[in-house]
Amino acid sequence: MLFNPARHEPLQTIAWDETRVRQFITRIVRQTEAHMNVDGLWPTHPNDGDGEDNPREPLTPLYHGACGVVWALDYLAAVGAVELERDPLAHAASLQALNRAWLEADHNTSFGAWMMGETPWLMLAYGRAPSEALADQLAGLIAGNIDNPTRELMWGSPGTLLAASLLHERTHDERWAELFRRTAGQLAAELKWSEERGCHYWTQDLYKKEWTFLDGVHGFVGTALPLIRGRHLLDAASWSEWESRIVNTLQRTATLEGGAANWPAFLTPPEGRKPTMLMQLCHGAPGFIVCVAHLPSRELDPLLLAAGEAVWAAGPLTKGSNLCHGTGGNGYAFLCLYQRTGDIKWLERAQAFAMHGIAQTEADEATHGQLRYSLWTGDLGFAIYLWDCLRGAAAFPTLDVFYGAAG
């Protein structure tokens, strides 16, 4: 089976309501501003805590902490979705220091990590007040992350590959293009070949284990996204080879059933672990669609459309409206397909997921007595998804876009 029905719930039939959507974006932003404490932090949602992160301890990374909230508020204001009542970057310097202290407390030296480290904090500061000193710091973080053995977006060099692409787009400075090419070259050298599957893949040395993830956060297709995004920085021969590898690996690893498609979490499951088929952005078809949405080749289009049908058949996720493993992230697959094909049914499906996600967010708030103040795992990311549903365009937060003026 392409997905586990227990992880999904029936779609609520709620008519698309532009006024309600705009009001809900504003409500999320106003409540977020109101709940920022004097140090510029937000209360952590119980679902964002685990055995290593005390749920009562405010979090700071881009993925599930203050950096993501700050970024989302600044972005929503920059694109004209809302007007802010407070400056979200007022405490950025002290929050960046807290983020480093959090990494050091866990003996983690991946300070350049895209979703967990300092790179996005410095990019926010650089967007507000660019300087050579900040550019040098960013270049040092990107260069220092090139050999990171995780080889995935959250911690590894694919994340800082993405940062180099975004910075080049912002500045047109050749230093970012050169760092992009150096990182891409290292990733090419680290590719492995599967005789069994007839495709390329990477291993990820992550959380003290070695994996063969394929997914949109930790895996192969997540690494494909910044390569596709920055392809103009590569010579024609290098890009042609990358495009061929990406197409082949996605074709060779897909599972097709009755006109629908999905991908397993791993190329090779870890010993003692059954093959895993999930249907969410971080593991499964939604992430594959989002990550290759701008691939110039049309060879994958039949597979991507089949994947979109699988996302629709599965329905909204039970884990709420968030981007990483929730209804908003899956809905971005529909927005990407609408942008790629122009077929209105994909926009209508995205908007149906948006209305369902509003109901999920309201129910979650009633249960926990608070919103979920985070970008990838919470309500700020969902607010940006609602904005993109209003404008009928897909710009996935911090993957497709970072600086609001480019959004």
pLDDT tens profile 64-119: 999 999 999 999 999 999 999 999 999 999 999 999 999 999 888 999 999 999 99
**Residue at token pair 């694919």:** 158
Q: Please, where are the H alpha helices in 106-219?
A: 119-128, 132-144, 157-171, 174-190
What are the residue ranges spanned by the domains of the chain?
19-45+59-89+315-406
**Residue at token pair 């090139």:** 146
The set of residues, in sequence order, having a beta carbon less than 8 Å from that of 362 and lying 6+ positions away, is none
Per-residue pLDDT tens over the stretch 187-224: 999 999 999 999 999 999 998 899 999 999 999 999 99
One-letter amino acid at 26 equals: T
**Across the chain, what does the average pLDDT equal?**
95
Q: Crossing angle, helix 379-391 and helix 344-368, to 10 degrees? A: 150
Count of positions (residues) in the chain: 407
Q: What is the 3-state secondary structure (H, E, C) of 20-57?
A: HHHHHHHHHHHHHHHCCCCCCCCCCCHHHCCCCCCCCC
In which element (H, E) is residue 200 found? strand 199-201
67 carries a ligand binding annotation: no
Q: Does residue 407 carry a pLDDT above 90?
A: no
| DSSP per-residue letters across 255-268 | EEETTEEE--SBSS
Alpha-carbon gap, residue 401 to 381, rounded angstroms: 13
Alpha-carbon gap, residue 59 to 72, rounded angstroms: 15
Joined together, the tokens standing for residue 47 give: 């679902």
Per-residue pLDDT tens over the stretch 23-51: 999 999 999 999 999 999 999 998 886 55
Percent of the chain past pLDDT 70, that is, above it, reads: 97
Per-residue pLDDT tens over the stretch 341-380: 999 999 999 999 999 999 999 999 999 999 999 999 999 9
Predicted pLDDT at 78: 96
Average pLDDT rounded to a whole number, residues 398-403 = 97
325 carries a ligand binding annotation: yes
- Give the SS3 label for residue 341: helix
Residue 294's CB: how many other CB atoms inside 10 A? 15
Chain-centroid distance, C-alpha 344: 24
Q: What share of the chain is helix, strand, coil (3-state, %, to 5)?
A: 50, 5, 40
Alpha-carbon gap, residue 236 to 224, rounded angstroms: 16
| DSSP per-residue letters across 45-109 | PGGG--SSS-TTSPP-STTTSHHHHHHHHHHHHHTTS---SS-TTTTHHHHHHHHHHHHHHTT--
**Short-list 33, 141, 129, 54, CA closest to 383:** 33
**Residue at token pair 């039939």:** 13
Can you give the pTM of this predicted structure?
0.96
For the chain, what is the total number of helices (H) and then of strands (E)? 14, 6
